[in-house]
Amino acid sequence: MKKEYIENRPTILKEVFEESSHEEPIIFVLSPGVDPTDALKKLADDRGTQFEAISMGKGQSERAKRILAEGAEQGNWIFLANCHLSLSLLPELESMIDNLFKHAVSTEFRLILSARPHP
């Protein structure tokens, strides 16, 4: 087995974004004590990109939908953190994301999601 497949290496956000696309979400599966928010914000600032983060949970669905639509149009980075806190919203969110990507989306737009593992 190749060593690269069994060793855990730190995520280098700059590399992740260089390989990313405006048409595919970036998903972080969280480990205990890990929060990529500050590193994502710094990378967006370094690139001169507008960054908006929402910690998902009760009552955040309308705000998430709004900033997703605005971010896709304006080329912002949108970070929906802790999606495991809004499991009931995920099917609707998936449908909205699918619809977003069917229309013209700014090439600078990035959708970033994070969640803890869930059965």
Give the amino acid at 74. Answer: Q
pLDDT value, residue 112: 94
pLDDT value, residue 16: 86
CB under 8 A, 24+ apart: contacts of 57-64 = 57/82, 57/85, 57/86, 58/85, 58/86, 60/86, 60/89, 61/86, 61/89, 61/92, 61/93, 64/89, 64/93
Query: Which region, left, alpha or beta, applies to residue 107 given φ > 0 means left and ψ of -120 to 50 means alpha?
Result: alpha
CATH H-level superfamily of 22-115: P-loop containing nucleotide triphosphate hydrolases (3.40.50.300)
pLDDT value, residue 78: 95
Residue ranges of the chain whose pLDDT lies below 70: 1-11
DSSP character at residue 109:
-
How many whole angstroms separate alpha carbon 53 and alpha carbon 41? 9
Would you kindly state where each structural domain of the chain is located, as residue ranges? 22-115
Q: How far is CA 96 from the centre of its chain?
A: 14
